[in-house]
Amino acid sequence: MSELHDRFRAAMAGAETIFWRPQSSPAEMFRDLAAHAEEHGTEWDRYGERGPVAELEGRVAELLGKPAAVMFPSGVMAQQATLRAWCDRSGSRRVALPDLSHLLLYEQDGPRRVMGLELEPLTHGRETPTKEALDKVGGRLGAAMVELPLRDAGCLLPTWDELVELSGAARERGVPLHADGARIWESVPHWDKTLAEAADLFDSIYVSLYKGLGGSSGALVACPEDLAGELRSWRQRMGGTLFSMTTAAVGGLIGLDQHLTRFGEYRQWAIDVAAELNAKGIRTFPEVPHIATFLAYAEGTVDEVNERVVAFTEQRGVVPCGLWQSAEVPGWVVTELTCYDTAVDKDPAEVAGLVADALAIVLP
């Protein structure tokens, strides 16, 4: 598979058309950062104080309607620190969260081994969080967490009413409710709510600077002022108070300027292209995407589908989709599609047709 990946990367580098979200080169990103810094007279932060870090923290706190926000070098560090801080206050290390949560699947048992947290399932699989789900988790909880959207379930979101009921139940029970809002920027159009309205349902919320916003790295937690002080202490304990976070902060500011008002447009294009894909026998989940990222399913094996996609990209100079992997159902493959700037000025029917052409070997 490594040879196929190498061929695909080389074909993408030489492609004239990429419908989904291409990665910019380091040189392109550095030029954008330098231009923004020059235009705004940016100065260095020092250990997360002043400069663009302070500017970004203030802007994100205001957008989310929270008293404060704290920048971290990574979301992994941000969320583990936040949950530990809430648990210390609550007097319990038990945290209820989805069994598909990033914390359980991708952090090498860090929440337990580093932070001493005891993780309990709040939801299972493609299940959205509800008041009833929280009620089923008995005993004393230090915190509860939801992931909005649930990435490994196809970027699935609960309904607004479900979130409101869950928030009320957590507050009535005295359980701090934290949101993994890495893609909250992209989620609010689904509910037709503002960022502040969504964040108001949670005691704290983590946001990403590169998922959706296109920055190089970095994350923030928006929260009460007193918790922010605790998070700064945890950031330093965990080695996250870097000498400078200016580069990531400037990337975040650029991302807010360029993308924040466009996520509704991205989502609508995703809905339109998903409808066209389904009409051509390529199944999507959700059938109607909740945000600009969703899953696509097709019949076939990984080897034959990926060989077809790579060959198509090499021959046509068009990247119709990413590579595919085995789906839950034998004989089917799945890939994730993400729709941003490079997609929305294209005809959804044309794009779906090219994806179908690339997969023609396995479609009826």
Q: Are 305 and 232 contained in the same domain?
A: no
Q: Are 56 and 178 contained in the same domain?
A: yes
Radius of gyration of the chain (CA): 21
Residue 29 resides in a domain: no
Which of residues 222, 257, 292 is at a domain's end? 257
For 331, other C-beta atoms within 10 Å of its C-beta total 10
Q: Are 12 and 83 contained in the same domain?
A: no
pTM of the model: 0.95
pLDDT tens figures, 345-354: 899 999 999 9
Q: Are 89 and 208 contained in the same domain?
A: yes
pLDDT tens figures, 79-97: 999 999 999 999 999 999 9
Per the structure, how many domains does the chain have?
Answer: 2
Q: For position 67, which CATH number holds?
A: 3.40.640.10
Residue 31 resides in a domain: no
CB 69 within 8 A of CB 61: yes
Find all residues with CB under 8 Å of 245, minimum gap 6, and list them: 45, 48, 53, 71, 73, 218
Q: Residue 176 belongs to what domain range?
A: 42-257
Which of residues 257, 286, 302 is at a domain's end? 257
Which of residues 257, 289, 311 is at a domain's end? 257
- Residue 364 confidence (pLDDT): 46
Measuring CA to CA, which residue among 156, 157, 235 is closest to residue 198?
Answer: 157
pLDDT tens figures, 167-180: 999 999 999 999 99
Q: Are 114 and 155 contained in the same domain?
A: yes
SS (H, E, C) 29-67: HHHHHHHHHHHHCCCCCECCECHHHHHHHHHHHHHHCCC
Do the strands 177-180 and 143-147 form a parallel or antiparallel pair, or are they unpaired? parallel
